Structure 1
Amino acid sequence: MGSEFEVVCEIEPPTRPDLRHVRHQIGVLAPVAHAFLIPDNHIGRATVSSVAVAHEVAAMGGRSIACLNSRDRNLLGFHRDLLTAAAYGVTEFLFVHGDQPTAGGRASELTVRTMIAEARAMGERDGFSPPRIGVAAGLRKVPAWKREADFVFAQMCFDNDTLLRWREEQNLQQKVYAGVLVLASAGMARRLAASIPDIDIPESLIDRVAADPRAGVEAACAQVAALRASGAFDGVHLVTVSRYREVALTLER
């Protein structure tokens, strides 16, 4: 692991051709974020290109990780995105499968595994430095091909003991970032619990958030502090949703 514990804050990408909200998130979170993750067609809705937003992050002096999903791309489209990224100087990616789209279906001939192979081969063939590539992993055995990625983002989890046990069992050699999610409301928590069975949200935390919306921010920031103190992870992938202002203030303190 590296010596510095990194906080990678996820940006809420725009669904309209307007980057003002993105710029505001970057400006507010910049004092506490080491890097920004930009999702790709977030939760199955069309958004501004993650590569374009990553370029905006760089223009504001920040470090970016652009997410690319295999769901929405054929091979030619993927090559186009890599060329665009190379032209913009975007060099870090998180490759993911992609959420279920809200309309239509999957049109992809790609998988995350083939995306990794194509990105590395394309860089060598076309004369630009291969990007740093990360993958997402559930809290189970990590397959061999994912262990060849440059970094790993672990699944969101509200139980640090579970995260620490998984980290020890997997013995991954690359950088590993634990997933931390801010619960903005009790309704959000219950929707997540119903739609993502792998995420176990404590009922006591849902009750606290229902009584005081700030409880979600405080719990997430306390989890970040505990994971940093554990020394087991290289950082966190922090999803602040609409609470990014409160998170920035709490982490600064």
Structure 2
Amino acid sequence: MAFELLCEIEPPTRPDLTRVRHQIELLAPVADAFLVPDTRVGRPTVSSLTVAHEIAALGADPVACLNSRDRNLLGLRRDLLTAATYGVRRLLFVYGDRPSAGGRAGDLTVRTMIEEARAFEDAPPFEVGVATGLRPVPDWKRAADFVLTQVTFALDDLLRWRDATDLAGPVYAGVLVLASGRMARRVAAAMPDIAVPDALADAVDRDPDAGVDAACAQIEAVRASGAFDGVHLVPVSRYPDVAARLGARGFSRSSGRR
């Protein structure tokens, strides 16, 4: 069975895809697919569908994220039509972080988004994914084609959750690279359900490479457990170092299999 590395990219905040191309160039040897966030943390970015289209043009496999926060029903149907036009078949539906400006659209939920994607008839079926915390998964989320777990640094908690959770489709464990001590403290403060170990935060404070090494070791541990179908990796700005480390550890599109 394949162990897939789904690598999240940094979406552009300016009308320039140069950085996207650089990320794909460096990560393509080790990543099986690329997830494009949708206005992550409430900041405007280039459309995830536009970036996904570019990734596909570069010969890689994209997964486009769409959030309910910024859409009404008409907007979602527009985006499904756009995805079908671009040939983007894998979609991740999420609620969305608090916006930095303005309010939420308000009349769309992730559950409704799944129902709309299933009813879309103008293209081959979409492959729809959802995200979950390390808690019981509601039945409507179980209808998704794949599931991404929240980021965690606690492998034991992750494995206990997986052992207690029966899902039919692929499940990807969330792994975050801590790029700096400052980032570690910000994550700990802003996301109380993601516990950052003090030892790791201190190590990253002393040496930013410690965050890269810890993430790569976590990926290897998840793969070795045999409990997951892959990892959803968030390398942030450290993607060149992550690509080099994973390549040195033997990860590739063909050898990263189990």
TM over 0.5: yes
**Paired amino acid for 2:237:** S
1:57 Cα deviation from its structure 2 partner: 0.5
**Matched residues, number:** 248
Deviation at 1:171, TM superposition (A): 1.6
CA deviation after TM superposition for structure 1 residue 108, in Å = 3.0
State the distance in 2 between where 1:130 and 1:176 align: 20
Q: CA deviation at 1:232?
A: 0.3
Q: For each residue in 1:43-62, what CA deviation from the matched residue of structure 2 results, as whole angstroms up to 9, or x when unmatched? A: 10111010010000100000
Q: Please tell me the residue identity of whatever aligns with 1:160.
A: L
Aligned residue in 2 for 1:194 = 189
- 8 A contact 2:68–2:105 mirrored in 1: no
Partner of 2:87: 89
Q: Which amino acid aligns with 2:228?
A: F
SS in 2 for 1:236: strand
Counterpart in 2 of 1:160? 155
Deviations 1:114-144 (A, max 9, x none): 0000111123xxx311200000000000001
Equivalent residues in 2 for 1:60-99, closer than 5 Å:
60-99=58-97
1:170 paired residue number? 165
TM (normalized to structure 2)? 0.95
Alignment partner of 1:38 out of 36, 39, 45: 36
2:52 corresponds to: 54
Deviation at 1:4, TM superposition (A): 1.1
Q: Which residue of structure 2 lines up, in the alignment, with residue 149 of structure 1?
A: 144
Residue 44 of structure 1 aligns with an amino acid whose one-letter code is G
Q: Which amino acid aligns with 1:15?
A: T
Alignment correspondent of 1:104: 102
Q: How far is 1:23 from its partner?
A: 0.5
The equivalent residue for 1:248 is 243
Secondary structure of 1:145's counterpart equals: helix
- Output the aligned Cα RMSD: 0.6
**Following superposition, which runs of at least 4 residues in structure 1 exceed 2 angstroms of deviation?**
none
Percent identical pairs in the alignment equals: 66
